[in-house]
């Protein structure tokens, strides 16, 4: 049996007052939706991007890796715009910058639910 992936989720600071994160957390714990490919996960951390334009997401991703995360998950509120219907205009740059900072050995998933 494979060990659970250890994930760190980065969510949108602007939508945190509209979404408690429970759908993404439940999907990760059960290995469903965005996590179906990797199975049930251990959640190491759940942080925000730090607000627009998401520059703190990079340092927070690095912090999550230093604390044992092997997978960074960029929540659907950033990539798909849930629950407001407007994806983050900084998503692509944020994802690229995170990938560059954490390196190729860290998996990046760009949605939760």
Average pLDDT over residues 94-101: 97
- State the pLDDT at residue 94: 97
The angle that helices 56-66 and 91-102 make with each other, rounded to 10 degrees, is 40
- The domain spanning residue 65 has which CATH number? 3.40.50
Average pLDDT over residues 44-65: 96
- State the pLDDT at residue 65: 98
pLDDT band at 105 (very low <50, low <70, confident <90, very high): very high
Q: Which domain holds residue 9?
A: 5-109
The alpha carbon of 38 is separated from its chain's Cα centroid by a whole number of angstroms, namely 14
Instruction: Work out how many domains the chain is built from and give that number.
Output: 1
Write down the residue that tokens 């190491």 correspond to. 44
Q: Residue 45 belongs to what H/E stretch?
A: strand 41-48
pLDDT band at 3 (very low <50, low <70, confident <90, very high): confident
pLDDT band at 109 (very low <50, low <70, confident <90, very high): very high
Asked whether residue 2 carries a pLDDT value surpassing 80, the answer given is: no
Non-local (6+) Cβ contacts of 70 within 8 A are: 5, 6, 7, 105, 106, 107
Is residue 7 classed exposed, middle or buried when 0-12, 13-18 and 19+ CB atoms within 10 A define those classes? buried
Q: Is the dihedral of CA 99, 104, 110, 113 positive or negative?
A: negative
What's this model's pTM, rounded to 2 decimal places? 0.95
């Amino acid at each position: 049996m494979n060990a659970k992936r250890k994930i760190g989720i980065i969510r949108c600071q602007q939508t945190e007052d509209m979404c408690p994160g429970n759908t993404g957390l439940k999907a990760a714990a059960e290995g469903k939706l965005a996590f179906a490919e990797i199975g049930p996960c251990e959640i190491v951390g759940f942080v925000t991007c730090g607000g627009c334009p998401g520059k703190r997401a990079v340092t927070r991703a690095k912090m999550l890796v230093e604390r044992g995360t092997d997978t960074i998950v960029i929540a659907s509120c950033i990539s798909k715009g849930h629950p407001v219907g407007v994806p983050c205009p900084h998503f692509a740059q944020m994802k690229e910058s995170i990938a560059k900072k954490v390196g190729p050995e860290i998996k990046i998933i760009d949605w939760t639910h």
